Amino acid sequence: MWNSVQRLLDARHMTIYQLSVKTGTLNSRAIYDFAAGRVKNPSFRTMEKIADALDVSMDELRENNPDIGGGD
């Protein structure tokens, strides 16, 4: 799941810190934990905030990611 987020960050030349600022309420530590694999299944609300900050749909984040409900 993080791979989708990282791909979008790279395409936007955006850092994890910048993403955390754009989410408005997520701190960068939470996103770094997600990126490092310490958080395997982030909450729906967290993913919603990330999707909003990246201006993409939730479907785009979960594409090819069965761990968040895609690919059933």
What is the reported pTM?
A: 0.80
Q: Which amino acid is present at 66?
A: P
Task: Write down the CATH superfamily of domain 2-65.
Answer: lambda repressor-like DNA-binding domains (1.10.260.40)
pLDDT class for 63, splitting at 50, 70, 90?
low
Q: What is the pLDDT of residues 16-28, one digit of tens each?
A: 999 999 998 778 8
Distance, in Å, from the CA atom of 23 to the CA atom of 18, rounded to the nearest integer, reads 9
pLDDT of residue 40: 85
User: Quick check: 68 pLDDT over 60?
Assistant: no
pLDDT of residue 21: 92
Instruction: Catalogue the long-range contacts made by 30-36 (C-beta closer than 8 Å, 24 or more residues apart).
Output: 34/2, 34/5, 35/2, 35/5, 35/6
Q: Bigger pLDDT: 32 or 27?
A: 32
